[in-house]
Structure 1
Amino acid sequence: MMKSGTAAARIAIVGLGPRSLGALEALVAHLADSGCRVVVDVFEPSDAPGAGPNFHPDESPLCLLNIPFRDIAIRPPAFSRAGSFARWYARHTGNQADPDSFPPRADLGRYLQARLQDLLDISNGTITIVPNKVARIERSDAGWRVHAGDPPRAPYDEVLLTPGQPETAPDDQLAEWQDHARDTQGQLAQAYPAARLAERAQDWAGRTVAIRGLGLSTFDVLRVLTCGQGGRFDAQGYHPSGREPAAIYPFSLNGHPPFPKPATQALDARFDLHPSEVDRFSQAMSQAAVADPDTARAAISAALEPVVTRILTDCGATVPKGAVADWLDAEWTDAGTQEKDLSPMDMLRSGIALAEGACAPTTGYAVGQVWRKAQDALRAGYNPVETPVETAEALVAFDEGLKRYSYGPPLSASRELLALIDAGIVDLDLAVDPDFTLTDSGWTLETGGNTARASVMIDAVLPSPDLSSIVAAPVCTLVENGVLSPLSQGLAARTAADGQVLDEQGHVVPRLCLLGRLALGSVIAVDSLHDCFGKSADRWAKGVCARQEPRR
């Protein structure tokens, strides 16, 4: 990992989940070809370094990835013995990976920990995991000081922050509900850790439960409340155990469940881009990332429209002239309004039929699947450059809006939701932005003349990466001190292409880097496992080596 004759740079990494694992793997690979030497302290207080909370090995096996085996492409570095995830899975479970199945997140966590162990084994003691929580970091004349216990760790030449999604202050609604749950008989719970939720749910048999949110996390919650309490699904539907809640009411602002991914590799292949189409999209993305918002929108739409039209035609759909362009125009201006006339049940049934291939793809479904397959090209065009703020806002909003298609759940999850509705356990009648009345026993939900009284509320909403709402150290202090500053309202921190933090004036904060979700806007499509092991990690590693060259 090191070459003799050079001074070793001291690197601190705050956090050790998939993002920092990818960064460390990239750093070790680049060190082999550079003349620099480093020693790395990685600060991670959890008992699952390498996996992080999302993929904790002890998490419930009911929590599934939203990526099938066939699409998990996080190739290990040459020095790793773990091999691919599918190969590792077969070796450790004795089962061949079904390419169309969606594995438990805990299994991926165990795999990531195996890759971390391979990394530590070849590091010759130059990578140390420090099991302490970082309270704050600060600059000194000698470098960065990391306060994680007493005394502060020796000055570091560089610090990399990989905080994932740190704790945030509750929004107004959630804060009110937290106070309400403390003062009444109502119970407020978090979706994760799911193992903890499963324990609490043992006391909820026969009760009415509401779920705040109708995204991917809600499918995990539904499994915990049903299968986790002894119920089971089969081809005939859901078979209750009698230990699950009597009624479950998920809800969101629009009440629409996300669209599931195509069920099989053959169905998914219908949305593959031709090489020439990938090239055109890549060029359009590179142009859009440095253009004004109108030019950016036009470039992306011009690249998407012919691809989507071809796919729809190949699948036997009739495509009126201008229909794809109109759909894209609506998506840019007000994402999701194309489905505003669909009820939650209509949306669910439509999504299932589309994922099964039982009907020709809709324009939205085709756009979403194409966008999913173009994510690498999206990041490659956007992340290495400095995008104008208004353009960043437009492109990030477009990407986030399309997640209802591109980040969809397994088809099995949507079928399970339908089975629970048919069994009379889940009800979507209150799914669309209900009103709430706080009661001594919990909450009353009301919309469109329908009402329900819930004694349990589960929060399944992922907080936004708004820097001002973060309360976890050391990020909150860096924000308060102006070291981390947002690109704009609604977007996260300013960073350079290699992850170096930029201040409010756009100047580099020397040798402080940030990778991941808290840089949304400076980078795009960050809520992806693949991004953790992609080019952003490579650019950071190359930057570390380049900045150490004067030490030769």
Structure 2
Amino acid sequence: MADASGVHRARACRIGPRRGRDPGPRRTGEPPPAGSGDARVRRGRDQGTALDRDRDQLLQPPGHQYPVRVTVICVIGAGPRGTSVVERVCANARDRVVVHVVDPYPPGPGRVWRTDQPEHLLMNTVAGQVTLFTDETVPCAGPRLPGPSLAQWAGIDPDSYGSRALYGRYLTWFFHRLRRHRLVEVVVHRDTAVALGRLGVELASGSRVTGVDAVVLALGHEGATRLEDGHLPPGNAADADLTGVRPGEPVLLRGLGLTFFDYLSLFTVGRGGRFENGRYLPSGREPRLYAVSRRGVPHHARGVNQKGTAGRHLPAFLTPERVAALPGKAAFRRDIWPLIDREVRGVYYRGLLSTRLSRWQLERFSESYADSFGDEGILSRYRVPSRLRWDWGRIGNPPVPGPGRAHRPWLAEYLARDVARAKRGNVRDPLKAALDVLRDLRNEIRLAVDHGGISGDSYRDEVVAWYTPLNAFLSIGPPHGRIEEMLALLSAGVLHVLAPGGRVHRVAGGYAAGASWTGHDVVATTLIEARMPEVDLRATVNPLLTAMRRAGQCRPYRIGDYETGGLEVTRSPFRVVDAAGRAHPRWFAFGVPTEHVHWATAVGARPWSASVTLLDADAIARAALAGRGDQCSS
């Protein structure tokens, strides 16, 4: 429930009619916040704690002193999702199991979260909302085994943004605890899987994992790491070899999303520069950075978290009941978007009115707004002026000045306003509260669009081409500190942002982009695609997925006539579908490669939120354990 200012702590929040007092999510057993004494589990303390002892007892079911069966499972991909599957195997095991984990990178962190990356590369989720443990809100069939969030484990502010390396250490700790299980032997192969066949899982080293009963694909993004002819294709910035970029060299960054801020940090702090009191003190080793994007402004900064660990907006319009009632082949813009729109507007107007209405009056507004199904006529009764009314066009596509000197001061003012709103928080600031609703509605949107819930044309044109990038721009942005750093770099002349829509083209000696603030082309010797690669099985650089597709062992997912490029899997437990449309009984896949079968697959597990990621990992683990049958074969 919200107070007059709209503050929501651990309780969930909604815009809609009251049906009795809402007690919020059940909190029995909820881990107390960091700093609350014995509940805090500190880094590296994986021996002898009460939490570990309790968990180990749960992981060691009684009455199985002499296991007679051995199930062999191979998990390919050792990042958070693969690690979650291993944990769920441990939690569900009742007989002896051998789990082979295949990944060239360290198990737990995998490639993206490895611990040797610079500490100045940050996560984009607050530490209190990061976990790999199953709490009582996860509706899984297997045992729920709660544990500390990243914030509790590290002893840091739950509303702060930890480094990626810190999360990697958390994942390392989590994974190594699994290796103490009494029934499950975990065997790590620092290698790359390149093929699946009758003889097992073939590895790049020439060795093979044999006798496998089930295979789980838990792969992540694959991307380029090296410059080729002055061009760096999409990929994880932490993996990029930037040593060839010289000080003072003009570099063009295409994209102003999360990956852009990683490159910004690597080229500045990573080269010895410092931010002090809102100013950037250069080291002299920085290149000259030019950024270009479709909108000409970065993703909206995330509002300071005021919802606690579990607080979220509960839908009044995009409810499970309404999703279930959607027509057989819904259209996103026609059937789903209007419900999202009303959810966002309702939170925005409630925040706007909270400064002059009492709590009781706010509740009446929420009831009236929901009962009228978001009728804008109600706004006149509450005297909401036209200039303050919600405008998707202005918010989703800011009216950036065209080429000319007016662009620079406009951009600085725009960024400063964004920082100010973000500092007011994701509850107290009406705009940031409304945009945060898009994050809170992810599960409901998945229910509506996953597994061909909408037509292929609608998915291609209205989800992939329109809503997904809009959602990223509005709700998947950096911490406000990154926007402040961007302002300092603009002021120092290290960074220049070009006006929106500038086309990049090849010229002699490099790459040129038009629509700069001067009205002239900017020429750079290096072009970096500052974004992650699109998920596309047809163009993947992953050797295993490439081999499987060529062998007819998998296929791209289709929605009607639209071939998406995602790896096709069944509904839970997500069995891999081959070229003939047959689901393999013992091969499973989830996460990034299945994008388009599922929407927003890169989202991690969040505590006290009925995590879909952890639910899916449990379903896969239980299916992999459910009887040996024939060994895996193509």
Matches within 5 A, 1:213-292: 213-245=255-287, 247-263=288-304, 265-266=305-306, 273=312, 277=315, 281-288=319-326, 291-292=329-330
Distance 2:527 2:270 in 1: 18
1:137 Cα offset (Å): 0.9
Task: Map Cα deviations across residues 239-272 of structure 1 (whole Å, 9 max, x no partner).
Answer: 2222222x21011233331001113x34x67x96
Counterpart of 1:57 (choices 91, 115, 121) is 115
| Letter in structure 2 aligned against 1:243 | R
Distance 1:309 1:544 in 2: 48
Is the 2:133–2:147 contact (alpha carbons within 8 Å) kept by the matching residues of 1?
no
1:520 Cα offset (Å): 1.1
1:151 Cα offset (Å): 5.0
- Aligned residue number for residue 310 of structure 1: 350
Is the 1:13–1:159 contact (alpha carbons within 8 Å) kept by the matching residues of 2?
yes
- Aligned residue number for residue 493 of structure 1: 567
Is the 2:273–2:283 contact (alpha carbons within 8 Å) kept by the matching residues of 1?
yes
**Please, what TM-score do these two structures have when normalized by structure 1?**
0.80
Matching of residue 445 in structure 1 with residue 519 in structure 2: no
1:113 Cα offset (Å): 0.5
User: Cα 1:524–1:188, aligned 2, differ >3 Å: closer, same or farther?
Assistant: closer
- Aligned residue number for residue 439 of structure 2: 372
Task: Map Cα deviations across residues 146-174 of structure 1 (whole Å, 9 max, x no partner).
Answer: 44544533232211111201347x9xxx9
Is the 2:200–2:208 contact (alpha carbons within 8 Å) kept by the matching residues of 1?
no
Distance 2:437 2:200 in 1: 44
| Letter in structure 2 aligned against 1:65 | M
SS across alignment from 2:497: coil
| Letter in structure 1 aligned against 2:86 | L
Counterpart of 2:424 (choices 353, 357, 377) is 357
Distance 1:359 1:151 in 2: 51
User: Cα 1:248–1:463, aligned 2, differ >3 Å: closer, same or farther?
Assistant: same
User: Cα 1:491–1:474, aligned 2, differ >3 Å: closer, same or farther?
Assistant: closer
1:82 Cα offset (Å): 7.7
Matching of residue 84 in structure 1 with residue 122 in structure 2: no
Distance 1:228 1:366 in 2: 33
- Aligned residue number for residue 75 of structure 2: 13
1:273 Cα offset (Å): 4.7
- Aligned residue number for residue 103 of structure 2: 44
- Aligned residue number for residue 194 of structure 1: 238
User: Cα 1:366–1:506, aligned 2, differ >3 Å: closer, same or farther?
Assistant: farther
User: Cα 1:193–1:120, aligned 2, differ >3 Å: closer, same or farther?
Assistant: farther
Q: How big is the alpha-carbon RMSD for the aligned residues of Structure 1 and Structure 2?
A: 4.1
SS across alignment from 2:556: coil
SS across alignment from 1:469: coil
Counterpart of 2:491 (choices 422, 431, 434) is 422
Distance 2:494 2:289 in 1: 6
1:24 Cα offset (Å): 1.1
Matches within 5 A, 1:105-116: 105-116=164-175
- Aligned residue number for residue 382 of structure 2: none
Counterpart of 2:525 (choices 455, 459, 466) is 455
Distance 2:426 2:149 in 1: 35
- Aligned residue number for residue 124 of structure 2: 66
SS across alignment from 1:447: coil
Distance 2:437 2:279 in 1: 32
SS across alignment from 2:486: helix
Distance 2:222 2:320 in 1: 32
Task: Map Cα deviations across residues 442-500 of structure 1 (whole Å, 9 max, x no partner).
Answer: 22332263222222333322111011111221101112233222223345122122121
Unaligned runs of 5+ in 1: 91-96
| Letter in structure 2 aligned against 1:206 | G
- Aligned residue number for residue 625 of structure 2: 545
User: Cα 1:274–1:189, aligned 2, differ >3 Å: closer, same or farther?
Assistant: closer
- Aligned residue number for residue 104 of structure 1: 163
| Letter in structure 2 aligned against 1:427 | H
Is the 1:273–1:307 contact (alpha carbons within 8 Å) kept by the matching residues of 2?
no
Counterpart of 1:342 (choices 400, 425, 435) is 400
Matching of residue 524 in structure 1 with residue 599 in structure 2: yes
- Aligned residue number for residue 94 of structure 1: none
Distance 2:327 2:270 in 1: 45
- Aligned residue number for residue 137 of structure 1: 196
Is the 1:82–1:114 contact (alpha carbons within 8 Å) kept by the matching residues of 2?
no
SS across alignment from 1:10: strand
1:5 Cα offset (Å): 5.4
Structure with the larger helix share:
1
Task: Map Cα deviations across residues 70-103 of structure 1 (whole Å, 9 max, x no partner).
Answer: 332443689989833223213xxxxxx1233211
Is the 2:317–2:339 contact (alpha carbons within 8 Å) kept by the matching residues of 1?
no
- Aligned residue number for residue 219 of structure 2: 163
Is the 1:80–1:115 contact (alpha carbons within 8 Å) kept by the matching residues of 2?
no
Distance 2:520 2:511 in 1: 14
| Letter in structure 1 aligned against 2:494 | I
User: Cα 1:113–1:75, aligned 2, differ >3 Å: closer, same or farther?
Assistant: same
- Answer with 1 or 2: which has the greater Rg: 2
1:57 Cα offset (Å): 0.2
Distance 2:231 2:318 in 1: 52
Distance 1:114 1:198 in 2: 30
| Letter in structure 2 aligned against 1:447 | A
Matching of residue 118 in structure 1 with residue 177 in structure 2: yes
- Greater shift, 342-351 or 413-422, is seen at 342-351
Counterpart of 2:615 (choices 523, 527, 535) is 535
Matching of residue 387 in structure 1 with residue 387 in structure 2: no
Counterpart of 1:511 (choices 568, 586, 595) is 586
1:200 Cα offset (Å): 4.3
1:36 Cα offset (Å): 5.2
Distance 1:164 1:144 in 2: 22
Distance 1:352 1:435 in 2: 29
1:124 Cα offset (Å): 5.3
SS across alignment from 1:352: helix
Count of residues in Structure 1 that have an aligned counterpart in Structure 2: 514
- Aligned residue number for residue 548 of structure 2: 478
User: Cα 1:262–1:39, aligned 2, differ >3 Å: closer, same or farther?
Assistant: same
Distance 2:425 2:554 in 1: 49
- Aligned residue number for residue 435 of structure 1: 504
Is the 1:197–1:224 contact (alpha carbons within 8 Å) kept by the matching residues of 2?
no
1:329 Cα offset (Å): 12
Is the 1:315–1:361 contact (alpha carbons within 8 Å) kept by the matching residues of 2?
no
Matching of residue 209 in structure 1 with residue 251 in structure 2: yes
**Please, what TM-score do these two structures have when normalized by structure 2?**
0.70
User: Cα 1:511–1:108, aligned 2, differ >3 Å: closer, same or farther?
Assistant: same
Is the 2:129–2:149 contact (alpha carbons within 8 Å) kept by the matching residues of 1?
no
- Greater shift, 310-319 or 58-67, is seen at 310-319
User: Cα 1:381–1:547, aligned 2, differ >3 Å: closer, same or farther?
Assistant: farther
User: Cα 1:59–1:262, aligned 2, differ >3 Å: closer, same or farther?
Assistant: same
SS across alignment from 1:543: helix
1:214 Cα offset (Å): 1.4
Is the 2:350–2:430 contact (alpha carbons within 8 Å) kept by the matching residues of 1?
no
